[in-house]
Structure 1
């Protein structure tokens, strides 16, 4: 099995790489952080590339095609974007967030599809978010992009199913890690609350009273990429401890 993971050098992406590696897959990774790429296992195929740049992504897919094709795509690239009321969001910040989160997924799927069609099989896993299921106060561009990722996935599943290609979306909840730390700090400042109070609010907003780890999300990606999920397609699967309250207030 050959898998490509965009934004695979840290966080959820790296956890996906480790999980697929443990499952015996040949792991390919793109990322914008050269230092993080250097820290990955030598056996992984690592490439510096911007997920929202078509020329850069085309070059990576050309290398994958030369290596024999692609079995699983994990289109995982994303950024948190601004944390602000909608009237305070700068248009360029909106465009930047939507570009990485949505156009990055589109470009990866666009260039993976011909390789998978030629093989007559494949699995596409898009990283959305629980923000793509519920509204997300103070995160309008991120939420809008993640809702759109689900629409993209549903369309891919319909278009590609006749070719033996499946498409699904994983919707992580609040995932422990540096990206969410930034969100916590900005949200705390916006709401006039402490970082710890916002943190606890996220956990209390789930029925399992828990945050999510990157490994939790990665394990779902491996399942969706495997033959065990051979008839699972067009699905939106939350890995979130069951979100009850998408606007944590403590």
Structure 2
């Protein structure tokens, strides 16, 4: 049975990924920093409380995975929203925290997955970036910088690991329905002196499909990118966002 590891997998996009991989027959391993969220996962998933931006914890996790037989797919999905503020108002500690979790965790996934995948001669690494990784994004400097970094990491992984049969791709979700996006909407509304509904409408009107996307939409793409149907797809930035034209809501 093939094995998929998903970081930040106890809720939101990560949880939807876990469900999607389980449905196509994968042995699902999920990590999350939030121990209270892990019991929500199905009993046949392997769950571990892990800070995906902590080198020691990630090394130990992959040692356990190696002992269990290795890993076929890694979904580097951990990330935090970071502050919503003008660049001159961003606190250095908030910048570092956002970059450490969002970009650092993706690096650690790749660092420790690569030797296992090289040994098996195949593998797929799917990194969760964002439309913020392809557009400039006012008032979200740490998050946008980290998500752009995820894409740079992915491009490098695709070139470095491709000769070993390992593929790497990045998914760029747009605005995803759910509690996390609700927090972003409210913080942006507060920062811009707008209502939450006005910010929501601004995001939706910035897509050609006039819609947010769902966690399931992202999960479906992750499963495709890990499948035999995508065995020649690598180094790609794939947006699942309803075609975002302008990610910044109009005031």
Which bracket does the TM-score occupy, shorter chain normalised? over 0.9
After TM superposition, give the deviation of residue 162 of structure 1 in Å. 0.3
Structure 2: how far apart are the matches of 1:179 and 1:106?
23
Aligned partner of 1:76 in structure 2 is 77
Q: Deviations over 1:115-147 (max 9, x none)?
A: 000000000000000000001110000000000
After TM superposition, give the deviation of residue 196 of structure 1 in Å. 0.7
Aligned partner of 2:67 in structure 1 is 66
After TM superposition, give the deviation of residue 35 of structure 1 in Å. 1.6
Structure 1: how far apart are the matches of 2:140 and 2:223?
29
After TM superposition, give the deviation of residue 103 of structure 1 in Å. 0.4
Q: Summarize the alignment of residues 98-247 of structure 1 with structure 2, pairs less than 5 Å apart.
A: 98-247=99-248
| Structure 2, unaligned runs of 5 or more | none
Which stretches of structure 1, 4 residues or longer, exceed 4 Å deviation after superposition?
none
Q: Deviations over 1:1-55 (max 9, x none)?
A: 1000000000000000000001110000010111210111010000000000011
| Structure 1, unaligned runs of 5 or more | none
Q: Summarize the alignment of residues 12-27 of structure 1 with structure 2, pairs less than 5 Å apart.
A: 12-27=13-28
**RMSD of the alignment, in Å?**
0.7
Aligned residues: 250
Structure 2: how far apart are the matches of 1:87 and 1:81?
15
Find the residue that maps to 1:34 and give its secondary structure.
Answer: coil
Find the residue that maps to 2:36 and give its secondary structure.
Answer: helix
Q: Normalising by structure 2, report the TM-score.
A: 0.99
After TM superposition, give the deviation of residue 190 of structure 1 in Å. 1.1
